[in-house]
């Protein structure tokens, strides 16, 4: 289970990946949509997500 710092790093890594893609692909037809999506995701996370969202990794396997 992640703490706030781990969750922030996880989110920031995704934002960085999209920002890098935007910088490398300014002429891509999806550029503006991705920029708007990135802005919306950041705003949503910073407004309420960080306070309320947590995560964990669960591994399930058959006992058979």
| Residue range 6-50, pLDDT digits in tens | 888 889 999 999 999 999 999 999 999 999 999 999 999 888 888
Confidence of residue 1 (pLDDT cuts 50, 70, 90): low
Q: Are 55 and 8 in contact (CB under 8 A)?
A: no
| Residue 28 CA from chain centroid, whole number | 21
Question: What's this model's pTM, rounded to 2 decimal places?
Answer: 0.73
Quote the DSSP letter at residue 3. Answer: -
Task: Point out the least confidently predicted range of 26-30, 33-37, 51-55, 57-61.
Answer: 51-55
Residue pair 4/50 in contact (Cβ under 8 Å)? The answer is yes
């Amino acid at each position: 289970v992640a703490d706030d710092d781990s969750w922030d790093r996880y989110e920031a890594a995704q934002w960085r990946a999209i920002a890098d893609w935007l910088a490398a692909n300014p002429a891509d037809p999806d550029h503006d949509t991705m920029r708007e999506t990135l802005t919306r995701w950041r705003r949503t996370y910073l407004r309420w997500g960080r306070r309320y969202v947590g995560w964990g990794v669960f591994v399930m396997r058959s006992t058979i």
